[in-house]
Structure 1
Amino acid sequence: MAATDQSFRGTIERLEAAGDLHRVQRGVDPRFELGAVLALRDRERPQLFTALKGHEMPVIGNIMNSRERVARLLGVEKPRLHQVILEALDKPIQTVLVEEAPVQEVVHGNDIDLGRILPVPTWFEHEAGPYITAGVIVAKDPETGRRNVSIARLRLEGGGRVLVGIARNHHLNLLAEKARKLGQKLPIAVAIGNHPAVLLGSQMYLGLGDDEYDVVGGLLGEPLELVRCRTVPLEVPAGAEIVLEGHIDNADPIEEGDVSEFHGFYVRYGAGTGGAITCVTHRRDATYQAILPGYASEHCLLGALAIEAVTCQALQRVIPSVRRVLVTDGGMGRLHAIISMHRPRLGEGKRAVILAMGQVNLFKLVTVVEDDIDPDDPTAVEWSLAARFRGHEDMVVLPGMKADRCDPVHENLTVTKIGLVACTRPGDGERSSLSEFARAPGDILSSVRARLQEY
């Protein structure tokens, strides 16, 4: 038995016990109305909808919509969150199997109708149907058997048929393409309603063949408990609420049309991957988890936390002075980053910019500050630009760089990328006067800070 409650149910109970959950008891239509409520309460408490039109199963959203709440749900203080994720990447913990789990209390195996079983929201006006957005998809390499865990959007196409939106370079698509070349369909399982560590771990940019479940174990500080699926040779988190079992088929494209992206606009990516769900299992009293897509706090933050941790790990391997990487809210959790460095040597800031852009294709604005600046504080970062940045020396402009297809202003998949290095310059072994804040002696400051309420 795990020492930590790894269930999604436990997460909801902890939120409610802390007064950090809002129950929406008014009847809500999952077609557009539910999404509108989540959007208008974007950064407020998590929203639990208990009266869904046409469905008895409740829906919860906006759970991981701030760094403070993510930290609390992982049982750490917010200042430690970044380091805890880095430690999970450095020290993954392998999974364990359990024989049974509540997620298999109810089984649907004949004539699957996802729209009847699940209250899947339809989010935006021009999208063609309802999308599952918090489904953690599990698959295995058809040649090596190595596992992959990720999130991709799944659109309901009627009955058990689904469209899965996957970028060409994503590992899930590479596995589906391997299966197609072998004349096979790729078995998948989709877990919905997961412990926050499972959602966060699923977003890590690991090497093909590395198991994201092991990073989840690192976040939990213990092995993630898995249970075998009923109809496919895959394992899913035992603490999940709902599991869909089926396959995807790269030989079965489905045109997607307009779909929302993290920047808040519609995009047209062409055909998605077709698939079918042939079995659904869930808890008797299951709660459906939804993540508002588009430019929404939870959607953007989940990606940002993973991108910044993987980037920081990669940079620290070659530039030890890197302390932290922050992917910003204004940069949509994808496109803008701030790198914190400890007394970088001349040229190291620019090197960090270029390495970060090489690590993450999405980055197009990277700002470097010293570690006396809090990257979480936009005012402090702007102060650093005002006090330490000289445009003719400290700006890196890289026109015609390869962009991700998601970038809202790319032209032929290229964009101009910019780096800003807002750091002081070391002189002949001594710090410039402009590198040191004017303040009272350190011992006096510490003494006053400790007894400030007495003044």
Structure 2
Amino acid sequence: MAFQDLREFLDAVEKVDELKVVHGADLASEIGSITEITAWSAEHPLVLFDDITGHPVGTRIAVHSFDSYRRMQLIYGFPDGLRGAALTAWWKDRLGDYVPVPPVEVETGPVMQNLMIGEDVDLFRFPAPMWHAQDGAPYLATGGASVLRDPDTGQLNAGCYRGMRYDRNTIGHHLAGGHNGQVIRDKYFARGENCPVVITLGNDPSFTLAGAENVGFGQNELEFGGFLRGAPYEMVTGPLTGLPFPATAEVVLEGEILHPDVEPKRSEGPWGEGLGYYASAFAQPAVRIGAVYHRDDPIVMGEPTLRFRNRGAAGGFAQTARRLHLLERSGLEGVRGIGQVGPFLVVSIKQHYSGQVMRIADYVMAGLADRPPRYLVMVDDDIDPSNTALVNWAIATRVDPASQIHIQRDRWCNVINPAGLTPAKRAIEDYTLGTTIIDACKPFRWRADWDRMFARSDIQDELRAATAAKWEDVLGPLITAPKPA
């Protein structure tokens, strides 16, 4: 659905009774704490912080924009009642019909209501919480998106990168290794130039989701965002950088990522990551902000990473759909489904020939437009790849570790994971680790004999139904409960 701005989205959220306003919380400990605790509950509300200590009434922070079925439905427009595999299939089919919707340029918009430029720039005007108790400093940018332009191709890129506030006109900007933003930034650095950037702190939620989407290098997230919302973005061109930003954004920072020869790198972090650890502080190029544009009573979006965040019944469907879409477009025969079970990315297939399992696994390990999974589990098509019990059962009963677990080395990895990323590796920005493929499929060579040799012992459906009917009055839900898997 095409919301004009964050405010129109908040109005829609309030109408479906999913908005909770909190008055008087402080930035030092309470906003981060409330954000984390409320994230633990399924289908929790969007929380809007107002009367923030040290800031005028009306200067607000909105958190949990994407953490419920209903809010994701407002953004994506999927039919009511779709859940799980059906919801993934719906978005996967929509991706199959993808048509870019380019943004349109406009002269001005609400974001230009207020201007700070040069020496007048003061980032302390906007609320930046300590999201986690041991973060290295307050983080101002956690929920918006950044726009950069490839100096070689002119292609625009939007991405979601956290921003730690250093001082009145400088922030950190964590462009993780391997992301498009890092590649673009370093192209400027190779030329001996600073990298122009604009950073939104609050916007129509689809703009953040577009920035987080793995559309592939060289593709335009702004065009994808237009497709997602069903209407083009209206964009203002920044006078300092020539980069576009949403005309209806809440706050936009315009500046440059400074070449290390212009200004030495600064320590960015620690930062509380979603895996439940603090990512170590390490040197990153700083961003010097030359101009700030903002609306009256601006709203900053906050989406800090949290270990225990319940995204609700629609959580993760878009990423799963993207992966399934790319797998189906690969032309590889037999792909039936994809899911996430704990740390495992799980792909179910219908086997047709020897070697098919590892052929598909190798394609998945190319990353599906993102990092390779740390653990990939391949299962047969009788296993629901989103069902924890069935996936664990397949691993427990169909895997010979000596021949069906494959370890790969020196793979691009997620830098937030502490396992194996020693201080020495981080110091030289070597973000590679091992990955694992677990082939939990029935061996193809035994396909004709497996079920005969290993008959399942579960109660048959007919006997289960007859038993439940006879004993329902005595045992109730104890006897009528559905089969676990």
TM-score, L = length of structure 1:
0.83
Match of 1:18 in 2: 16
Q: Could you say if the C-alpha distance between residues 439 and 163 of structure 1 is closer, same or farther in structure 2, counting changes exceeding 3 Å? A: same
User: Does residue 36 of the first structure (1) align with residue 36 of the second (2)?
Assistant: no
Q: Does 1:406 align with 2:416?
A: yes
Question: Is the CA contact 1:93–1:218 (under 8 Å) kept in the aligned structure 2?
Answer: yes
**Closer, same or farther: CA 224–85 of 1 in aligned 2, 3 Å:** farther
User: What corresponds to 2:360 in structure 1?
Assistant: 352
- 1:250 is paired with a residue whose SS is coil
| 1:84 aligned residue | 91
Higher radius of gyration, 1 or 2 = 2
- Offset from partner CA, 1:55-82 (integer Å, 9 cap, x none): 1311110121256642443211443355
Greater shift, 312-321 or 34-43, is seen at 312-321
Matches within 5 A, 1:20-419: 20-25=18-23, 27-42=24-39, 43=41, 44-56=44-56, 57-66=59-68, 69-77=71-79, 78=82, 79-81=86-88, 83-84=90-91, 87-88=94-95, 90-131=98-139, 132-251=141-260, 252=263, 253-268=265-280, 270-297=282-309, 308-316=320-328, 317-328=330-341, 330-331=342-343, 336-342=344-350, 345-359=353-367, 360-370=370-380, 373-385=383-395, 389-391=398-400, 395-398=404-407, 400-402=409-411, 404=413, 405-410=415-420, 413-419=432-438
Identify the range of structure 1 (30-39 vs 417-426) with the bigger mean alpha-carbon deviation. 417-426
Is the alpha carbon distance of 1:11 and 1:340 closer, same or farther for their aligned partners in structure 2, counting shifts above 3 Å? farther
Shift in CA distance, 409/422, structure 1 to aligned 2, threshold 3 Å? same
- Structure 1: where are the runs of 5+ without partners? 441-455
- Paired AA for residue 118 in structure 1: F
8 A contact 1:365–1:417 mirrored in 2? yes
SS in 1 for 2:405: strand
Aligned residues with identical type, % of pairs: 23
Q: C-alpha distance in 2, partners of 1:430/1:9?
A: 61
Shift of 1:385: 4.5
Could you tell me how far 1:296 is from its partner in structure 2? Answer: 4.8
Contact 2:442/2:450 (<8 A) preserved: no
Query: Could you tell me how far 1:161 is from its partner in structure 2?
Result: 0.9
Paired AA for residue 192 in structure 1:
L
| Matched-pair contact (CA < 8 Å) for 1:166–1:273 | no
**1:138 Cα deviation after fit:** 0.3
**TM-score of the pair, normalised by structure 2:** 0.78
CA distance in structure 1 between the partners assigned to 2:336 and 2:233 by the alignment: 29
Counterpart CA distance in 1 for 2:104 and 2:450 is 52
TM-fit CA distance, 1:320:
3.9
Amino acid at match of 1:53: T
Give aligned pairs, total: 431
TM-superposition CA deviations, 1:320-377 (whole Å, max 9, x none): 432443345x33xxxx312233566554333333322232544121223455654444
Q: Is the 8 A contact 1:342 1:371 kept in 2?
A: yes
Using the TM superposition, give the Cα deviation of residue 299 of structure 1 relative to its aligned residue in structure 2, in angstroms: 9.4
1:127–1:269 Cα change, 3 Å: closer
**Deviations for 1:235-277, whole angstroms, at most 9, x for unmatched residues?**
1123322211111123231122523333121222521111111
Q: Secondary structure at the match of 1:91?
A: coil
- C-alpha distance in 2, partners of 1:370/1:311? 18
The CA distance in 2 between the partners of 1:235 and 1:338, in whole Å, is: 38
Q: Closer, same or farther in 2 for the Cα pair 1:400/1:426, shift >3 Å?
A: closer
Where does residue 7 of structure 1 map in the other structure? 5
Q: Distance in 1 between matches of 2:92 and 2:248?
A: 21
Change (3 A) 1:353 1:100: same
Q: What CA distance in whole angstroms lies between the structure 2 residues aligned with 1:123 and 1:210? A: 32
In structure 2, C-alpha distance between the alignment counterparts of 1:12 and 1:362, rounded to whole Å: 35
Task: Provide the residue aligned with 2:476 in structure 1.
Answer: none
RMSD: 3.4
